[in-house]
Amino acid sequence: MRLNVAVVGGGIGGLAAVLAIRRAGHEAVCFEQSSELGELGAGIQIGPNASRLLHRLGLSEALAAVAVEPARLQFRRWHSGAVIKELVTGPEVIAAFGAPHYTLHRADLHRVLVDAVADVRPGLQCVGADQDDDGVNLRFADGTFYRADVVIGADGLGSRLRRLVSSGVARFSGKAAWRVLVPAEAVPNLADPPTLRLWLGPGKHVVSYPVSAGRLLNLAAALLADVEDTESWTREGPADELAAALHGWDPDLHTVIAAAKTTLRLPLFDRPPLEHIGTGRMTLLGDAAHPMLPFFAQGAAQAIEDAWVLGRVLRNATRATAPDALRRYEQARHARTATVQQRSVRNGELFQLPNGLRQRVRDVALRRFTLTRFDWLYGYDADTA
């Protein structure tokens, strides 16, 4: 018997869940509260642990048209741009992990998923859910209802469905991400060959990489922020404000900022890991379940892993066994996502160490860094783990 699964949230994780659940032989419909489908933000990284799953969903050709596979990964000093450590990536990543490391514009990845799903239902804000032994009734702000056998909450950091399993609030990290996109032709020395660069400095760090098939360069800076920044989820501002915040940093960064007209600022939040992310016929995935800071570049990748594991556990599920299948999904994902959340916090600290002994010890460790350090992360296969 085919299940009728409702996915609340049309972001990257929600759309991937629809595709994975359909692949498992069930019906899946996606509800998105925004009237227009799209993604905020700029660049995003998709490591091999997630790209292999997107390929299995049949998206390899569509991704190849919009993604970039960086040829190198560089860690740099903040003021001079001196390279602390460089790793050759590209084909070496594929050889090591069987799938590529992509850098993309979030909107490009989202469009690939929207086109694959084909029938997202926009403009429907879920305001609550009521479940009984046989199913779940979703309630929407316009007064309509939808009944499903299973409900997946993929509605992001402020998830309404999460409130059914936890009353906790999101934690402000004390940092905000400033994001800039500029034409690659304006910064040719940073755009070619395609390179993922991280500048590490006291209280701040910056990352850059090409997106949109190499036509644009994405730059993101993680800076300390006041609590007041939490009042607005996104805020545009003049690029010279970012330039002032990075005064004294590598001139290459200022070349990028000078080519930008505005920046996008996003305050950064996470939540502590939850022991239980579901109840009955409902569960959560992605940021609704385990929002994480972006300092491991794994937020979207973990949501895609969630989606794949959901498809696995629901493959042979019936209406009667669906709740047990959801609990298996939750158990399978808990330790993995909690570890990535914790390491994301730790990376944010390590990347922003002040000059001194700890910073020098970190740089010595980075110089010994090899691709094998990513085995636990990129070698994880959600189809067999």
Helix (H, G, I), strand (E, B) or coil at 259: coil
CA 192/CA 68 separation, integer angstroms: 11
In what helix (H) or strand (E) does residue 375 lie, and over which residues does it extend? helix 375-378
Token pair, residue 163, equals: 């409130």
Among residues 276, 304, 308, 305, the alpha carbon closest in space to that of 289 is found at 276
First to last CA, the chain: 26
Of 298, 80, 42, 340, nearest to 201 by C-alpha is 80
- The Cα–Cα gap between 312 and 355 comes to 47
- Phi, psi dihedrals of residue 186, rounded to the nearest 5°: -80, -20
CA 146 – CA 138 distance, rounded (Å): 5
Residue type present at position 81 = G
CB 379 within 8 A of CB 97: yes
| % helix, strand, coil for the chain, step of 5 | 40, 30, 35
Give the active site residues.
209
Distances (CA, A) of 198 to 78, 84, 314, 363: 9, 10, 40, 13
Phi, psi of 247 (to 5 degrees): -60, 130
For residue 87, what are its two tokens?
């790793």
